[in-house]
A and B are shown apart, each in its own frame.
Chain A
Amino acid sequence: MRVMQREKPRMQIKQRIEQFVKREGRRPRILVSNMGKKCHDHDTRQLAAFLAESGFDVDISPLYQTCRGTARMAIENDVHVICFLSAENRHKSLITDLTRQLQAEHAENIRIVMGGAIPQSDYRFLYAAGVDLILSSVPADGAALNQLFDLFE
């Protein structure tokens, strides 16, 4: 019984993705970006694998990507959402820069998800700066996955 409870959100996400494909004509596409000088390469790969396994199309950026590079890759690959993990204490400036780059390219409709080591006290700043969702743990659990998927709809 307990197992079923835990499996439920993941089943749900599969159904939601199937509906999304029927409506939009393609899978939800997400860019997992490695930004900054220190990168969570292992974590991003794990997150990417988890998302692909859940039914997303996942792009992975090169390491040490700049904000400009991330914005460009998101636009070129036409993703719905950018996700990046904070590995150092620069996430505030990175977000400000990233949203500016997206705006400059008329791509502000691309949503932003963050994860990694982010102190609660920064949440308000980040949400105000244009982050749509902050994941408290990575890889996310089924409930967080559903929250993340809300951004696509």
Chain B
Amino acid sequence: MKVQDYIDGVLAKNRRIVAKTITLIESSLPSHQEMAKAIVDALLPHAGKAVRIGITGVPGVGKSTYIESFGLQLVKQGHRVAVLAIDPSSSKSGGSIMGDKTRMEKLSLEQQAFIRPSPTGGTLGGVARRTRETIVVCEAAGFDVIIVETVGVGQSETTVASMVDFFLVLMLAGAGDELQGIKKGVLELADAIAINKADGDNIQNAQKAKIEYEKALNLLTPSSKNWSPPVLTCSAVTMDGIEDIWQTILNHKKKLEISGELREKRRGQALDWLWALVEEGLKDRFYRNPNVEKSLPQIIKAVEKGKTAPTIAADTLLNLHDQ
């Protein structure tokens, strides 16, 4: 397939070609990346109209089940929903298991939904570039709600927060120390916190947790002048609170749109994107540089053995690159 075939296919909302385009974006081959660049460039004018939502939470918080309920609700209201799941469950071998869809039974069969789990195995930092470009492709294919799912244990949160309009952090009640297991940094990124699994015997605990998190958020300076992050409760099983969260997201969008903050935010994100690309490109060039490639094993060995100081070795490598 040629670049134009991909572009036409995405704009025609062809599911298979959208999937193939994402594969191209995720590919580590330079020739694929060249094609992906051309495709994304052509699709960019068709993108930008969706509501972009990042969802995170520690393993076991019920992200996939939440997205199943949330996504189905949106589809019922006539939206077209794309879910991009960043899956870090890679093994030593580099392979990974992507089981998100096992908990998105109904949503994964919806005509108006598209769910794509992406392995992270083996690529460093590449997730950022790939996910941003994938968002563009999904928007060009007419999806008007984009959900980026990530596990709340790594550094991917900051990256994901820098590419969405709304960042939702899912939490659980009754886990002892309420702030356990989640970094303060992740709370700072939140546009809302939702206490999940607020059903049955757990409702009271969820209410208690809600108050705890409200206190915690009060101690943080909100990142926006026009928005202070609320704490909500929800249940993906009873559907309680799911609609409230969507209304909160829409409300946030409206407020930021009126104040001009949304445009400002997206402009800032374009710059984030630019710098991420530059950094990634620099790293890539460094490792692909023939001088560096040739001398690298030797220099590593010398540092390991203590023959060369790391500071001097780093200088040598960078000079080799600049030559």
CA–CA, A72 and B248, complex, Å: 33
Extra 18 A-B pairs, beta carbons < 8 Å, given A77-B19, A106-B16 = A52-B90, A52-B91, A55-B94, A57-B96, A57-B98, A57-B119, A57-B121, A58-B96, A59-B101, A60-B98, A62-B102, A63-B102, A69-B108, A73-B101, A73-B108, A75-B19, A76-B114, A105-B15
Decide: A62 near B91, CB < 8 A? Known: A57-B121, A78-B23: no
B169 interface residue (CB < 8 Å to A): no
The A interface is mostly helix, strand or loop, or mixed, namely mixed
B267 interface residue (CB < 8 Å to A): no
Which residue of A48, A52, A61, A73 is within 8 Å of B93 (Cβ)? A52
Q: Chain A residues near B104 (CB, 8 Å)?
A: 62
Decide: A61 near B95, CB < 8 A? Known: A75-B19, A76-B114, A76-B116: no
CA–CA, A109 and B117, complex, Å: 21
What are the nearest 6 A-B pairs in CB distance?
A25-B27, A25-B29, A52-B95, A62-B105, A55-B93, A60-B99
A14 interface residue (CB < 8 Å to B): yes
A residues sitting closer than 8 Å to B (CB atoms) are 14, 17, 21, 24-27, 29, 48-49, 51-63, 69, 72-73, 75-78, 105-107
Total chain B interface residues with beta-carbon distance under 8 A: 35
Q: Please determine whether A53 and B93 come into contact, CB atoms closer than 8 angstroms.
A: yes
Q: Chain A residues near B220 (CB, 8 Å)?
A: none
B20 interface residue (CB < 8 Å to A): yes
CA–CA, A51 and B28, complex, Å: 21
Q: Give B293 Cβ to nearest chain A Cβ, in Å.
A: 15
Q: Please determine whether B102 and A76 come into contact, CB atoms closer than 8 angstroms.
A: no
CA–CA, A14 and B108, complex, Å: 32
Q: Please determine whether B116 and A27 come into contact, CB atoms closer than 8 angstroms.
A: no
Q: Give A94 Cβ to nearest chain B Cβ, in Å.
A: 17
Q: Chain B residues near A72 (CB, 8 Å)?
A: 15, 108-109
Q: Please determine whether B122 and A27 come into contact, CB atoms closer than 8 angstroms.
A: yes
Q: Chain A residues near B16 (CB, 8 Å)?
A: 75, 105-107
B22 interface residue (CB < 8 Å to A): yes
Which residue of B114, B117, B119 is within 8 Å of A27 (Cβ)? B119
Q: Please determine whether A77 and B116 come into contact, CB atoms closer than 8 angstroms.
A: yes
Q: Please determine whether B23 and A69 come into contact, CB atoms closer than 8 angstroms.
A: no
Q: Chain B residues near A26 (CB, 8 Å)?
A: 23, 26-28
Q: Give A41 Cβ to nearest chain B Cβ, in Å.
A: 9
Q: Give A64 Cβ to nearest chain B Cβ, in Å.
A: 8
| 30 A-B contact pairs sorted by A residue (CB < 8 Å) | A17-B94, A25-B27, A25-B32, A27-B119, A27-B122, A29-B119, A49-B97, A51-B95, A52-B96, A53-B92, A55-B94, A57-B96, A57-B119, A57-B121, A58-B97, A59-B99, A60-B97, A62-B101, A62-B102, A62-B103, A62-B104, A63-B105, A69-B108, A72-B15, A72-B109, A73-B108, A76-B115, A77-B116, A78-B22, A105-B16
Decide: A48 near B19, CB < 8 A? Known: A61-B102, A62-B105: no
Decide: A58 near B15, CB < 8 A? Known: A73-B108, A78-B20: no
Q: Please determine whether A21 and B101 come into contact, CB atoms closer than 8 angstroms.
A: no
Q: Please determine whether B102 and A54 come into contact, CB atoms closer than 8 angstroms.
A: no
Q: Please determine whether A54 and B95 come into contact, CB atoms closer than 8 angstroms.
A: yes
CA–CA, A74 and B116, complex, Å: 10
Q: Give B112 Cβ to nearest chain A Cβ, in Å.
A: 13
Task: Look across to chain A and name the residue whose beta carbon is closest to the beta carbon of B68.
Answer: A62
Task: Look across to chain B and name the residue whose beta carbon is closest to the beta carbon of A14.
Answer: B93
Q: Chain A residues near B20 (CB, 8 Å)?
A: 78
